[in-house]
Amino acid sequence: MPVFFAPLVFLLLVLGTAPLMPGIASRTKSLLTGRRGAPVWQLYADLWRLAQRGAVYSTTTTWVFRAAPVALLTAVLAAAALVPFDGHRSLVSFSGDAVAFAYVLGFGRFALVLGALDTGSSFEGMGASREVTFATAVEFGLLLSFAALVIATGEMSLTGMLGEPLAMRWPAATTSLILVAIGLFALLLAECARVPVDDPSTHLELTMVHEVMVLDHSGPDLALIAYAGAVKFALFGAVAAAVALPRATWSPMASALGLLGGMFLCSMAVGIVESSMARLRMVKVPLYIAGSVALGGFGLILLLR
């Protein structure tokens, strides 16, 4: 079997099931609040519908606006190639690729923010400003979590940090790693624009963070952004699940089921959070992110004993 075969299969599995994650989260929320809700595959239908439509471009926009969705999705896919979804190895790996992971995602956001500013709309500018403000804090939390993994495993690439070396150290560093996993989950809520940081189901432009940046995108462009969002959700879910329970010693089939199970539980947890609390006031979001950064920090400190 060629060495890249298993990572490729797992990557395709994640890319294929990613649109289920927002669906599961919203279905969980519906069931917990006494409604029936949309089917879990709703996003597939939405993507299909959007892909068939034409896009409308404002005359004030330039090529930056059109390039943004493609750049975003490319960045998210590039980041996905760095993650060892099967628990062993990733499609691409090199020493320090964890930093690349954070900044490739950062580049995608940068592209989206430029696209938003390119519209010249006051809404999109407001959303871009909020997104960037929160993202600087989220980025710090992500790097701190990775630093904890680097110290735990002694590896500098995601393949090592989430692969066999992590599985070896896991029994000894369970507390730290669980803290890091919870911290990553908290960051996921911020990064993927979920309650308590953002509200994915609101129609009120003035309260939006992520959604307001994509108000002017339509058709296939919007589909690319929505799909990129789902993949990012899946990436964070898979990484948090891998930290909480490394699967390097599992058989490929068990590992695949473990991956899907982890992603499923992660989506459900998002749905449960969304149906049990209100969104934070915008000025308090940095405090929330500081809290999730602190979780990664505690994990790190425990490892330094």
Partner 1 sequence: MTTPLLARLGNRRAVPLEALPLVPIEHLGDALSAGMAGGGRLLTLFGLPEMDDTLRLIGIIADDSRGRLGAVSSLVGQRYPSITPHCPSAALFEREIAEQCGACPEGHPSLKPLRRHAPDHAPSSWNLSERTGAAPPFTRITGDEVHEVAVGPVHAGIIEPGHFRFQAHGEEVLALDILLGYQHRGVERLLERESAHDAMQVAESIAGDSVIAHASAHCGALEALARSRKSPRAQSIRGIALELERLANHLGDLGAMAGDVAYAPAAAFFGRTRGECLNLLMTISGNRYGRGLVRPGGVSFDITPAMAAEIAGRVERLEQEVPPAARMLFGESSVQSRFEGVGPVTRASVLAQGFVGVVARSAEVARDVRHDHPYGIFRFAQIPVATAWAGDVSARAMVRWLEIQRSMAFVIEQARSLPNGAPRASHGVLRPNEIAVALEEGWRGEVVHVVVSDANGGVRRHKVQDPSFRLWPALSLAMAGGQISDFPLCNKSFNLSYAGHDL
- Number of Cβ within 10 Å of residue 141's Cβ equals 25
Scanning residues 118 to 147, which ones bind partner 1 (CB under 8 A)?
A: 122-123, 125-126, 129
Contact pattern from residue 160 through residue 199 relative to partner 1, giving x for each residue in contact according to CB under 8 A and a dash for the rest: -----------------------------------xx--x
Check binding of 202 to partner 1 (CB under 8 A): yes
Buried b (16+ CB within 10 A) or exposed e, 215-250: bbbebbbbbbbbbbbbbbbbbbbbbbbbbbbbbbeb
Is 229 within 8 Å of 214 (Cβ atoms)?
no
The least CB distance from residue 216 to partner 1, in Å, is: 13
Check binding of 2 to partner 1 (CB under 8 A): no
Residue closer to partner 1 (CB basis): 87 or 196:
196
Only one residue has tokens 């909480």, namely 244
The least CB distance from residue 202 to partner 1, in Å, is: 7
Q: How many residues does the chain have?
A: 305
Scanning residues 7 to 36, which ones bind partner 1 (CB under 8 A)?
A: 29, 32-35
Contact pattern from residue 265 through residue 304 relative to partner 1, giving x for each residue in contact according to CB under 8 A and a dash for the rest: ---------xxxxxxxxxxx--------------------
Residue closer to partner 1 (CB basis): 35 or 49:
35
At 275, which amino acid appears? S
Is 208 within 8 Å of 127 (Cβ atoms)?
yes
Is 251 within 8 Å of 86 (Cβ atoms)?
no
- Number of Cβ within 10 Å of residue 305's Cβ equals 5
Residue closer to partner 1 (CB basis): 17 or 133:
133
How far the first Cα of the chain sits from its last, in Å, is 42
The least CB distance from residue 286 to partner 1, in Å, is: 12
Binding site for partner 1 (CB under 8 A): 29, 32-35, 122-123, 125-126, 129, 195-196, 199, 201-207, 274-284
